[in-house]
Every structure is written in C-alpha cells, then in structure tokens.
Structure 1
Amino acid sequence: MSTDLRDATGQQRITRLRDTLTTEFEAQTARLTELTADTGDPGEAHTQAAMIAATRQSLAQISDALRRIAEGGYGICERCTAPIPTERLEVLPHARFCVPCQQKQG
C-alpha cells in the first residue's frame, strides 16, 4: 500500500527513512575508515580496493538520497517523475527510480 509522502504519514516515513539513511551513512563511513587503513598484506589489495569502491558508491547513493530529502525531491522517480512506492523506498531507501524505470535503466 503506497502512501503519499507529502501527507503526515508520509512525512513520518520520510523521517524514519532519513534516520535509517543517516545511520547507514555513519556505518559506511566507519567501514571506509577501516578499509583504508593499511593492512600491510599485498595479497588483499585487490579485494580491499573493490570493497573500498563499493563502500564509496554506497556513501554516494546515501548522500544523494539525503540531499533529495532535504530538497523535497525524495520519493520521485528521476526518469518519469512518478512517485516511487514507499514499499520500494523502505527496502531500498536510496532508490532513484521506480521499478519500471530501473528496469529500463539496466
């Protein structure tokens, strides 16, 4: 059941999602700090580099979602401008596209 994110219930959901995103941002930032510490093991360099890249991508997605919340564009598909169902946002809080547009995106 989708909820209009502009009504009171929707605003409560946005607040919860913003809190979730903020907590995840803090966790990913701590993870990145740990990953960038020198392990001294050259055999793990490739794996570590991949994990650093994935963590940086996650941080960028979270930051972008927090920016959209602050600017009032959160929950709107960037491709078709339709509302993204709140169920999708609860599963994937940094979603930029509705499911049909995400499938087209590739």
Structure 2
Amino acid sequence: MSTILHEPTDTAGAHLELLRSMLEETFAVHTARLTELTEYGRLPDHGGYEPHTLELLTMSHRQHVADAAQALRRMAEGTYGICEGCQHRIPVGRLHTAPHATLCAPCQPQPF
C-alpha cells in the first residue's frame, strides 16, 4: 500500500513565478548597469572604456532591458509562453534558458 506524502502542486504557476522573478531581476540588473554606462559616457575618460566599446555595451544592456520588459508585458497580458509562430506553448525548459523567448525552437530561425 502506498501513501501520498505531499499534495500535488501547481507546477505551471510555480514555473511562471520563477520566470517572473528571473525577468524582474534581469530588468533590474541591466537597468542598473545601463545607468552606470550612461554615467561613464559623460565622464571625460568614459570611465576607462573606449567610446565604441561603451556604445556597444550600452546597446546590449538596452536590448536586455527591452527583452525583459516585453516578456513581463506578455505575462501581464496572458500571452507569455505562447509561440508567436505556431501558437503552441513554448516548453518550460526553453523559457528557463531564454525567459524572453517568443518562439519555440522549431519556429526559431536558424543562423546561417
């Protein structure tokens, strides 16, 4: 005779909350870094960065902020985790790897 030792949990809700936390942290970290880089750009020595490097870093952090913000918006709208290509659910493993993903792996264009 077997006994259930725990109640079933809502794993989808738990995954969603974990992903929301990851996205909020990503947003905060990259926003803070973007603020630092902006301040470095105003300094005469650019905070020790080459101007071109500073520009590339700034662009990268802006993209991370935008990706996280868009994913959080999709969560609020209830469309997060739905592939924009085929309208099927994006696997949780893919979302853990790329929480900002808008496409499932089969719909993701392959690089040349």
TM-score range, shorter chain: 0.7 to 0.9
CA shift in 2, pair 1:82/1:104, >3 Å: farther
Q: Say which structure, 1 or 2, has more relative contact order (CA 8 Å, 6+ apart).
A: 1
Question: What's the RMSD between the two structures over aligned residues?
Answer: 1.9
1:95 aligns with 101
Note the residue ranges of structure 2 that are not aligned, 5 or more in a row.
Answer: 1-8
Distance 1:95 1:105 in 2: 16
Instruction: Pick from 21, 36, 40 the counterpart of residue 44 of structure 2.
Output: 40
Match of 2:11 among 9, 12, 15: 9
Q: Which has the larger radius of gyration?
A: 2
Extract unaligned runs of 5+ from structure 1. 1-6
Count of aligned pairs between the two proteins: 100
Q: Percent identity?
A: 44
Equivalent position amino acid for 2:95 in 1? L
The answer on 1:80 being equivalent to 2:86 is yes
AA aligned opposite 1:39: L
CA distance in 1, matches of 2:63, 2:97: 18
Give TM-score, length-normalised by structure 1: 0.86
CA distance in 1, matches of 2:54, 2:43: 9
Shift of 1:9: 1.2
